[in-house]
Amino acid sequence: MRKILVLFLLTSLGFNTIFANTLKDAIIAYQQKNYKEAKKLFETAIEKENSKQANFFLGRIYLFGEGIEKNPKLALSYLQKAEKSGNIKAKCLKIKALLKIKKEISKEDEMFLKSDQAKNIKECKDIKISVKDKK
């Protein structure tokens, strides 16, 4: 019985290590602009690890059409999940996705874009220009 328990623990740890590396491998593939491989790995990281960071990257991939056709609506769902975990860049890209699909942004999002918190985030700066242009 003890041998079975030890074997089970070792096997479980091995699988966890494999899955923990999925996000890391996905980020490396993304940085190397191997977007199709990165997309698959991010999807695995979400499925197996419930990775919030993977949601952010998938949102980027769909929003900007990196290695795939642009899909701002699908990007929006991933970015909203990443935003809920506190990812500020995801919040900025979520707003960009809303503007791309011609949806109005909330007053809260508009105030966020004007906040000190958003000032130094490139993704937010780009959106401020878009918001000013729309008015």
Q: Report if pTM > 0.75.
A: yes
- Whether the pLDDT of residue 133 is over 70: the answer is no
Tell me which of 1.25.40.10, 3.30.460.10, 1.10.600.10, 3.30.70.100 is the CATH number of domain 2-134: 1.25.40.10
Give the single-character DSSP code of 67.
S
Average pLDDT, the chain: 84
Write out pLDDT tens, residues 13-48.
444 444 458 999 999 999 999 999 999 999 999 999
* Dihedral over Cα of 109, 111, 114, 120: its sign: negative
The domain spans of the chain are: 2-134
- Whether the pLDDT of residue 128 is over 80: the answer is no
3-class SS letters over 3-61 = HHHHHHHHHHHHHHHHHHHHHHHHHHHHHCCCHHHHHHHHHHHHHHHCCHHHHHHHHHH
